[in-house]
Amino acid sequence: MHVLVLGGTTEARRLAERLHATRGIRVTSSLAGRVATPRMPPGEVRVGGFGGAEGLARWLCEHEVGAVIDATHPFAGTISFNAALAAADAHVPLLALRRPGWAPAEGDDWHPVDSLERAAEAARALGSRVFLTTGRMGLASFAHIDDIWFLVRSVDAPDGPRPPRTDVLLDRGPFTLDGERELLRRHRIDVLVTKDSGGAATAPKLTAAREAGVPVVIVRRPPVPDGVPVATGPEEAAAWLAAYSG
């Protein structure tokens, strides 16, 4: 069976490793190409878009794909909805692999919002030194703010619009709790802005913010397309595939 994994996440890479070692499965991982030096999964890899839902449906048919697992970032909404349309058009089963979201703990001061634009409004009302960890692609939503200082952390350097008072920290997780504590202290951070990405690699910043009494503006996830089953980990996704193919 040929399985297409829409990847770019740790879970996608672990799933590709598992499937690559499984007899009778050929796995192709698709990466968006937004990170300059991605961590490459085993098996076949393609980089770049498909040309929308229609192009993806055509690719599925041309490459005789037997199943699609959407293991993209929880906020990669466009590809997820294109995958749902394409899989339905090509009559290929589709599973969404999504790591569980974060949950607030006692002592957290969370301010949930539904968009980056609302996150910008909330951050402006809460403080003046913001640790912004929403990724380099969304900085345009904050570019109009000139009365707040931002520390932006991303894997690659941002190249689009961004706030005028911005320092950029290039780094890749996983991050440690001690490191996040020191970062908040050294930069005198009084607001943390993040997306509900889930997972352990970047969660220490939430603990550090709780300890320091720093409010957190957290952007809620977009929904998974209607009717698409969801697995919460690579093992569950592999079990779904085995049940389908067996």
CB 10 within 8 A of CB 199: yes
Phi, psi of 41 (to 5 degrees): -85, 165
pLDDT at position 36 over 60: no
Closest of 144, 141, 148 to residue 124, by C-alpha: 148
Which of the 8 DSSP states describes residue 155? Answer: S
DSSP 3-state percent helix, strand, coil across the chain (nearest 5): 35, 20, 45
Task: Read off the amino acid at residue 156.
Answer: D
pLDDT at position 245 over 80: no
User: Domains (ranges, CATH) in the chain?
Assistant: 2-100+222-245 (3.40.50.720), 110-219 (3.40.50.720)
* Residue range 120-130, pLDDT digits in tens: 999 999 999 99
Q: What is the mean pLDDT of residues 214-220?
A: 97
Q: What is the mean pLDDT of residues 81-91?
A: 96
* Residue range 130-171, pLDDT digits in tens: 999 998 888 999 999 999 999 999 888 888 899 999 999 999
Q: How far apart are CA 122 and CA 105, in angstroms?
A: 20
H or E element at residue 44: strand 44-47
Q: Give me the half-sphere count of Cα atoms (radius 13 Å) on the Cβ side of residue 177.
A: 7
At residue 211 the predicted structure's pLDDT band, cuts being 50, 70 and 90, is very high
Return the structure tokens found at 178. 């001690």
Q: How many C-beta neighbours within 10 Å does residue 234 have?
A: 23
Return the structure tokens found at 140. 């345009």
Q: How far apart are CA 157 and CA 125, in angstroms?
A: 27
pLDDT of residue 147: 94
Q: What is the mean pLDDT of residues 217-245?
A: 92
* Confidence (pTM): 0.85
SS (H, E, C) 74-120: CCCHHHHHHHHHHHHHHCCCEEEECCCCCCCCCCCCEEEECCHHHHH
Return the structure tokens found at 186. 């050294």
